[in-house]
């Protein structure tokens, strides 16, 4: 709220002026009562009415302006917080996303920020207004009768204990409700994102039951919350009713003794009714504000969390050759670094400019992990990765993202036009886009679509076939003219003809950059200039296709098995 401190000062001034104006009606009502009783100053009645009307109207205008400024400010803050949380989440390291479900992230960014902003916009406003009225009422009540004011204040500690206790409990309960809602959202998100699998296994009822159970847990927490609200309301009503009875009884005694005038008692009773309303409103609003604090805990965890990545480098050279070296790289996804958990063990290899290097090996040999390290998604426990002879972490992140392009087997597209997917995060011309699409053997099928390059790809590219998605993803990589091009089984869904065309284009592209090729097909890998064989996280052999065949070993076995 710090950037808007000026607005809050204005709101506070308007709150004070408006609250002061509301004191006019009870004050002049009491005076009119005395004037009528004593039959004094006939014109005083009309004068009092005019003063009450003017002050009440001014108070209403000030309250309206204050509410308008406050609500517009809180809307701005809500938008700013939601944007800040979204940005903070996007900047987190990949390990954070591995450990956090998509449904939970969406729930935190949308529902939690909405709950927090809604509670603050409405309830914090009421706390502010009624706190100001409370002090004004207390002052004017004391002016009428300090004895009656003392009696009223004696009951406040009992009334204040309730919201204090309930507020803490509501905050704890709110956190549990947010977690429960996030779990339910995760079930829904996961189900809808894997809807084809759900349909294939005819498990609609099973997923419905999972969602129902998640919502039952949320419903149970909401029942507790409703019970707390009921207890709070009942306790508040009983306590305020008892206070009114005591004040009327004691006030009548004071009037009878002549200590207090009947007009002063009328004013005091009217003030006390507003006083009770202010306390009641505060009791309802305060737990809601505490609830908003509870709902915001996870939000600020995300805002305060520092990505577990090394400090960003400063290098962004105009010319980059794309020479990559892995030097004795050891890596494990967990913090445990014993031999069983290590994915890479002292791996050393080179990816040289102007040639295609292939990584081959069985599943879980560490091929994809090398790519993740090269993209700086993770950091090696020991060893280093060099780019043009300099440590990878010494380069700027944005620079690396433009110079290193990756096409993976699972090519996910956005639900946007094809041209926007190809130009994604790249300021390129249409001519560059057409060139990249032709190199990826995608131009012909794109122009044949219903709207050509304006055709919507659908969620995750669902409107396109697997081969079409892969070719668009290859075009998305080539349009950047990268210096390091990484293809992780990027042509696995292509037919023979398109695969041949794409590889011919990549072979020509390989003269301009370093190409790292990962493929489960030995027929694809043998076209590489240099082949590295990984097994159990270590480099077992390297060389060209003919050399590795002559040596025998695991590479020769893989080639023989594919041939049969």
pLDDT at 176: 83
How far is 484 from 402, CA to CA, in rounded Å? 10
Confidence label for 387 from pLDDT (cuts 50, 70 and 90): very high
Where do the domains of the chain lie? 2-304, 324-563
Confidence label for 383 from pLDDT (cuts 50, 70 and 90): very high
Write the pLDDT tens digit of every residue in 182-230.
888 888 888 887 777 777 777 888 888 888 888 888 888 888 888 877 7
SS3 content of the chain, % helix, strand, coil (to 5): 65, 10, 25
Tell me the average pLDDT across 157-176. Answer: 70
Reply yes or no on whether the pLDDT at 350 is more than 90.
yes
> How many angstroms separate the most distant Cα atoms in the chain?
123
Tell me the average pLDDT across 438-462. Answer: 88
Tell me the average pLDDT across 490-497. Answer: 70
Tell me the average pLDDT across 498-513. Answer: 69
Strand order across the 404-407 sheet = 404-407, 484-488, 514-518, 356-360, 530-535, 538-543
Confidence label for 312 from pLDDT (cuts 50, 70 and 90): confident
pLDDT at 35: 67
Q: How far is CA 99 from CA 93, 190, 310, 311, in A?
A: 10, 15, 19, 22
In angstroms and rounded to an integer, the radius of gyration of the C-alpha atoms of the chain is 36
Reply yes or no on whether the pLDDT at 169 is more than 80.
no
Topology alike, domains 2-304 and 324-563 = no
Reply yes or no on whether the pLDDT at 39 is more than 60.
no
pLDDT at 223: 87
To the question of domain 324-563 being in CATH 3.40.50.300, the answer is yes
0.85 exceeded by pTM: no
**Cβ-based neighbours of 376, under 8 Å, separated by 6 or more:** 309, 392, 393, 397, 400
Q: What count of Cα atoms within 13 Å lies in the side-chain half-sphere of residue 175? A: 13
pLDDT at 453: 93
Reply yes or no on whether the pLDDT at 419 is more than 90.
yes
The rounded mean pLDDT for the chain is 82
Tell me the average pLDDT across 353-369. Answer: 87
- Kindly state which CATH superfamily the domain 2-304 is placed in: ABC transporter type 1, transmembrane domain (1.20.1560.10)
241 vs 192, residue with greater confidence: 192
How far is 44 from 42, CA to CA, in rounded Å? 5
Least confident of 166-180, 325-339, 476-490, 521-535: 166-180
């Amino acid at each position: 709220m710090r950037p808007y401190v000026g607005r809050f000062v204005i709101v506070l001034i308007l709150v004070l002026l408006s609250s002061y104006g509301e004191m006019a009606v009870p004050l002049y009502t009491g005076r009119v009562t005395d004037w009528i009783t004593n039959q004094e100053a006939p014109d005083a009645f009309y004068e009092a009415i005019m003063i009450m009307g003017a002050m009440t109207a001014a108070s209403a205008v000030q309250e309206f302006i204050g509410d308008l400024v406050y609500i517009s400010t809180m809307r701005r803050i809500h938008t700013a917080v939601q944007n800040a949380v979204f940005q903070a989440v996007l900047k987190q390291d990949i390990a954070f996303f591995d450990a956090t479900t998509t449904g939970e992230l969406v729930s935190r960014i949308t529902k939690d920020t909405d709950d927090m902003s809604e509670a603050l916009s409405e309830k914090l406003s009421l706390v502010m207004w009624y706190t100001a009225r409370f002090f004004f009422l207390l002052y004017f009540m004391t002016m009428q009768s300090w004895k009656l004011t003392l009696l009223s204040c004696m009951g406040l500690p009992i009334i204040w204990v309730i919201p204090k206790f309930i507020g803490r409990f509501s905050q704890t309960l709110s956190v549990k409700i947010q977690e429960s809602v996030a779990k339910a959202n995760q079930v829904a998100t996961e189900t809808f994102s894997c809807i084809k699998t759900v349909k294939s296994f005819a498990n609609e009822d099973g997923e419905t039951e999972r969602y129902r159970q998640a919502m039952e847990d949320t419903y149970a927490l909401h029942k507790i919350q409703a019970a707390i609200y009921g207890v709070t309301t009942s306790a508040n009503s009983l306590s305020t009713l008892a206070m009114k009875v005591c004040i009327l009884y004691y006030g009548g005694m004071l009037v009878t003794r002549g200590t207090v005038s009947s007009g002063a008692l009328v004013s005091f009773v009217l003030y006390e009714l507003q006083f009770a309303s202010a306390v009641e409103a505060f009791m309802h609003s305060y737990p809601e504000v505490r609830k908003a604090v509870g709902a915001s805990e996870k939000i600020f965890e995300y805002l305060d969390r520092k990505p577990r990545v090394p400090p960003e480098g400063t290098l962004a050279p105009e010319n980059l050759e794309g020479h990559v070296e892995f030097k004795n790289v050891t890596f494990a996804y967990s913090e445990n670094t014993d031999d069983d958990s290590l994915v890479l063990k002292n791996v050393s290899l080179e990816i040289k400019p102007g040639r295609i290097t292939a990584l081959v090996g069985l599943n879980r040999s560490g091929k994809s992990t090398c790519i993740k390290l090269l993209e700086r998604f993770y950091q090696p426990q020991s060893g280093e990765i060099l780019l043009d002879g300099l440590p990878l972490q010494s380069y700027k992140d944005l620079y690396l993202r433009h110079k290193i392009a990756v096409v993976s087997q699972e090519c996910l597209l956005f639900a946007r036009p094809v041209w926007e997917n190809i130009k994604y995060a790249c300021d390129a011309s249409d001519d560059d886009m057409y060139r990249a699409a032709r190199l990826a053997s995608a131009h012909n099928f794109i122009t044949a679509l219903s709207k050509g390059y304006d055709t919507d790809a659908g969620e995750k590219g669902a409107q396109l076939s697997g081969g079409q998605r892969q070719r668009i993803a290859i075009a998305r990589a080539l349009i950047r003219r990268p210096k390091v091009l990484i293809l992780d089984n990027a042509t696995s869904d292509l037919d023979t003809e398109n695969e041949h065309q794409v590889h011919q284009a990549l072979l020509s592209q390989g003269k301009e950059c370093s190409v790292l090729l990962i493929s489960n097909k030995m027929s694809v890998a043998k076209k590489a200039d240099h082949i590295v064989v990984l097994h159990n996280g270590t480099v077992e052999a390297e060389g060209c296709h003919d050399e590795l065949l002559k040596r025998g070993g695991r590479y020769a076995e893989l080639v023989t098995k594919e041939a049969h």
